[in-house]
Structure 1
């Protein structure tokens, strides 16, 4: 039973440890600025956060700027080939030393007083250095370097020097990452641009969404109406089937399997090539053996699952979805298109058109998702402070494997409960 309103559930009357329960969370988790700033410190600065894909910085000197929480960073590849993640903050007056989103350089120079730094963060030069005679040791003032971990081309960083090993943090999510990367069709997977947008809502609202299949037939009705009758049937019937499921993977990670037959797209089950792909398959057969052709064709649409990696990256069917918290009620989303590096142009053209159709700013998916997320934020700010956010769907039919992984029907909220269990661990201990 939900509590009746008696004033005792106002945010300042509910201890933080009581605001997240197994089957619900307090709406103040979406609206309380103090909680938001604690999340930045405990979650985004305290653990592993995804920052880039290796294909975004393939050559020595390549860099990308982004953020961890509210802190600006630079992801670089040094001349040695090693990847570094540096705090984008000059050691002199704290100005950012780079404002370009990406590029190639040999060094970074602060525009304020021209202190310059190497790709590994070393302080290379100080103008008019005689003014610091005996006062500054350049070796002691590099750009702050963060912990770096890489798995299957995904680059993670942490501000916490005592963070657990990345392999341990990813845990049972690693085999799913491997399966996701098979969508290169035998070619390397390449990040090929992104659609970015901001919505007026808390970052956790989007975190919940990636492995939430319950909303798909309703929020994405316009997308379903835009595809062929055969595809529309596929998208509307998977929620009523038994094979699709959602699984908790530990440490806040979860996976939602929508189409089990497409979990491992390397595996050829003998299904015929769809009629609309037959001309492309004939062209590909001139260059590749037929088993490779069938793999490439399957890879155009991506894998049959969404993988959520706590706290900020989703490996979603055929693209990466990155979330960036900006404020308690403001979040940026980047949908990163993935292509097959070296594949025939027509293959990647089709992948990009599919990306635009759903993830693009003029597509059928993102605008509808954003509308739903903003409505959640507006409703969470209602005057009644006793109104909890429910996380109880499927709790009664959830099961556990021998290894402890909990799983349930694909429309259930197992993934959300896993994310908030990790939230509670990070925030409260």
Structure 2
């Protein structure tokens, strides 16, 4: 089935984005935002769920692809579908429950009923159509769906490259990120969401921005114990930012925590000593060390363009709402079938920094708000993206890399933005 979406008039993206700067209209122009929704979010792979959020047949959750509401659901055969949350009859949403379990989706307006795979199964008082209604012609509009390592992506674009090709070198970092399960599968164990009055790209930039950390998060560092403060001295650890292609990037803050299955013989940090002792009551020492090392998360942030950050120990999901409003979901991750003590420790760490009453999210949201507000002044003044450019290196595989405080990841994202907006 072919679906035509309105095409936004061509924008001169080349004039807005250069190699080391960008126009502030990227944050403030409603026409640019509208074009992004069609040219980017409806034409690339967009993250919609983690497999652990819909583990069994009939499990579903709501999501969005750009501004379009979708339902992510697992059918009776175990296949995952992503359907536009719109009845084929008169456009009413089929679902308004954030997540749950169901056998079918029934429109509350006129009762059209759809199977989990999106096929139309029932129409009340069907004789009113005088045998002219072929139910096979009216399934839900379903997106193309592919999955990598539990990350579920969907796209309206049927002919684009596979998800594997789109992720490219980022797959290596996804594999490393998932090692924080310590041998257990990763699962979503809780989330919270909030909105801030700013453009979605401000948040996209933040996940690859180490430069702000010791300044914006000074309150977090002063409230933490000395051991934690030392571990988060990320500006002096030899970290780096690397362009992974297609807008993706990785920011390595703690090189010693890139591969959580290495260096398991290292001393257990004092802050995890009590946890280790508790785990020793039911687990062998080698497993205790593996679990404890994984509890604090990995030492990098992985940005997957356009909407997912695999950030140290959690998923950060950005959802554009309007040109000057964005919703952010922080999904805490745990170990499926792992020890309760370890999952409890991960939640406490998440709450301390990313939680709604934590030290990290409120400080970040404040500066994002200020960027949006400031971008409305001196409209001709560019946003600077040149930090680390002078000593950026190109590796053997052609990927650009600079120091941990460089804006290499932002430049990577905006190169992809420019390609897609000009396509």
TM-score (norm 2): 0.96
| Deviation sequence 1:302-352 (CA, Å, 0-9, x none) | 000000000000000000000000000000000000011111211111100
* Structure 2 counterpart of 1:204: 201
Structure 2 CA distance for aligned equivalents of residues 238 and 70 of structure 1:
36
| Deviation sequence 1:352-392 (CA, Å, 0-9, x none) | 0111111111110000000000100000011x221100000
* Structure 2 counterpart of 1:3: none
Deviation at 1:282, TM superposition (A): 2.8
* Structure 2 counterpart of 1:178: 175
Give the conservation status (yes or no) of the 8 Å contact 2:279–2:341. no
Deviation at 1:240, TM superposition (A): 2.7
Matched, 1:240 2:221: no
Structure 2 CA distance for aligned equivalents of residues 277 and 413 of structure 1:
33
Structure 1 CA distance for aligned equivalents of residues 146 and 277 of structure 2:
41
1:296-335 mapped onto 2 (5 Å cutoff): 296-335=291-330
Residue 23 of structure 1: which of 12, 20, 23 is its match? 20
| Deviation sequence 1:398-427 (CA, Å, 0-9, x none) | 001010011000000000000000000110
Comparing 303-312 with 221-230, greater Cα deviation is found at 221-230
Give the conservation status (yes or no) of the 8 Å contact 1:268–1:294. no
| Deviation sequence 1:80-104 (CA, Å, 0-9, x none) | 0000111110000011101101111
Matched residue SS, 1:396: coil
Matched, 1:123 2:127: no
Matched residue SS, 2:260: coil
Residue 248 of structure 2: which of 249, 253, 257 is its match? 253
| Deviation sequence 1:222-260 (CA, Å, 0-9, x none) | 10011012321332x32033x211111000000000111
Structure 2 CA distance for aligned equivalents of residues 284 and 266 of structure 1:
18
Residue 357 of structure 2: which of 348, 356, 362 is its match? 362
Deviation at 1:293, TM superposition (A): 1.1
- Across the aligned residues of Structure 1 and Structure 2, the Cα RMSD in angstroms comes to 1.1
| Deviation sequence 1:177-198 (CA, Å, 0-9, x none) | 0000000011111111211000
Comparing 303-312 with 339-348, greater Cα deviation is found at 339-348
1:44-55 mapped onto 2 (5 Å cutoff): 44-55=41-52
Matched, 1:134 2:128: no
Matched, 1:150 2:144: no
1:290-301 mapped onto 2 (5 Å cutoff): 290-301=285-296
Structure 1 CA distance for aligned equivalents of residues 33 and 271 of structure 2:
48
| Deviation sequence 1:22-52 (CA, Å, 0-9, x none) | 0000000100000001000011011100000
Structure 1 CA distance for aligned equivalents of residues 185 and 295 of structure 2:
14
Matched, 1:426 2:420: yes
| Deviation sequence 1:96-147 (CA, Å, 0-9, x none) | 1011011111000011111010100000101100011232110010001100
* Structure 2 counterpart of 1:393: 387
Structure 2 CA distance for aligned equivalents of residues 339 and 113 of structure 1:
41
Deviation at 1:269, TM superposition (A): 4.7
The number of equivalent residue pairs is 413
Structure 1 CA distance for aligned equivalents of residues 166 and 405 of structure 2:
26
Give the conservation status (yes or no) of the 8 Å contact 2:81–2:142. yes
Give the conservation status (yes or no) of the 8 Å contact 1:195–1:359. no
